[in-house]
Amino acid sequence: FPSKGTLSSFDTVRVVVPVALNGKIPDVSGLPLEEARKKLARHHLAGLVQAYAEGKHGRVLQQFPKAGLASVENMTIKLVVGR
Question: Mean pLDDT, consecutive 10-residue segments, the chain of 83 residues?
Answer: 75 82 92 97 95 96 94 93 96
Contact 28, 60 (CB under 8 A): yes
Contact 42, 23 (CB under 8 A): no
What pLDDT shows up at residue 39?
96
What pLDDT shows up at residue 59?
97
What pLDDT shows up at residue 53?
96
pTM for the structure as a whole: 0.74
> Which secondary-structure segment (H or E) carries 34?
helix 33-42
